Amino acid sequence: MASKYDTNPLDPDFPEKARAAAGSSDSSETRSLPYADSRTQPFPYVAPTEEQTRRFNDADVHAYSTQYASPYNGQYVPVSYQTAHLADMGSSSKRKVAKLGVSENVATALPYLPTYFGLVAGLLMLFFLPRSETKVRFHAAQGLAAHAAILIVSTILGAVGHLTQVASVGNGIFNVAAFIMLCIWTIKAWRGKPVHIEAIDDLTNWFEEKIHPKAFKK
């Protein structure tokens, strides 16, 4: 009768069969391998000679220190060539912008002009420049967004300034800081440097998408 302590309760005779198989097996004893000499065999000692390190004479030293010194000993010497002239990405583009008649660096700088000059310039560019003028339209939209954001903040601070003196002082400081930043952006755009105002990205994209070039709209 099988009990809960049997290894295999499905076979009542399993424990006896297992003991019988273990007793009749000749491989149950532990066998020891024959001992072998495991000592580390050292490498034979070789006396150092001068041939292990190559010593250059004065002629060899002079030949290797002189670039492409003759004779070349068969090595390949690249042909001297002039690198192609690459456009300076930091320089301002002098390309004329269609429908404006001014260079690209001037067109990208106009929307950042302080006061209402930049706001009007950016708005007119978005109305009349085709979408193929991607760079100029981006700066026009970004300049317009910057002026709109400055105007909104200045209006809010001016309204609150009638109630508290702190807001009035803050409005003055903000207007001065905004004027300085507009001047910096104008100079950077005129010099062809990248101008990216991350805080107004959404407003910039909205202006660029919603204001269609009327003169080129079909």
**Is 91 a domain residue?**
no
Q: What is the number of other CB atoms lying within 10 angstroms of the CB of residue 145?
A: 23
- Report the distance separating Cα 56 and Cα 69, nearest Å: 16
- Report the distance separating Cα 190 and Cα 112, nearest Å: 10
**Is 61 a domain residue?**
no
**Is 20 a domain residue?**
no
- Say what the pLDDT of residue 148 is: 93
Which burial class, exposed, middle or buried, applies to 6 when counting CB atoms under 10 A from its CB (0-12, 13-18, 19+)? middle
**Is 46 a domain residue?**
no
**Is 28 a domain residue?**
no
Which burial class, exposed, middle or buried, applies to 149 when counting CB atoms under 10 A from its CB (0-12, 13-18, 19+)? middle
**Is 158 a domain residue?**
yes
23: pLDDT confidence band, cut at 50, 70 and 90? low
Report which of residues 163 and 50 the model is more confident about: 163
pLDDT of 179 over the 70 cut: yes
Residue by residue, what is the 3-state secondary structure of 14-70? HHHHHHHHHHHCCCCCCCCCCCCCCCCCCCCCCCCCHHHCCCCCHHHHHHHHCCCCC
Q: What is the DSSP string of 139-167?
A: HHHHHHHHHHHHHHHHHHHHHHHTT-HHH
- Say what the pLDDT of residue 112 is: 95
123: pLDDT confidence band, cut at 50, 70 and 90? very high
- Say what the pLDDT of residue 170 is: 84
- Report the distance separating Cα 121 and Cα 137, nearest Å: 11
- Listed range (23-27, 70-74, 147-151, 156-160) with the worst mean pLDDT: 70-74
- Report the distance separating Cα 107 and Cα 139, nearest Å: 9
- Report the distance separating Cα 182 and Cα 85, nearest Å: 34
Which token pair is 146?
A: 């910057």
**Could you give the number of structural domains in the chain?**
1
Which burial class, exposed, middle or buried, applies to 26 when counting CB atoms under 10 A from its CB (0-12, 13-18, 19+)? exposed
Owning domain of residue 203: 104-216
**Is 152 a domain residue?**
yes
**Is 116 a domain residue?**
yes
- Report the distance separating Cα 127 and Cα 211, nearest Å: 6
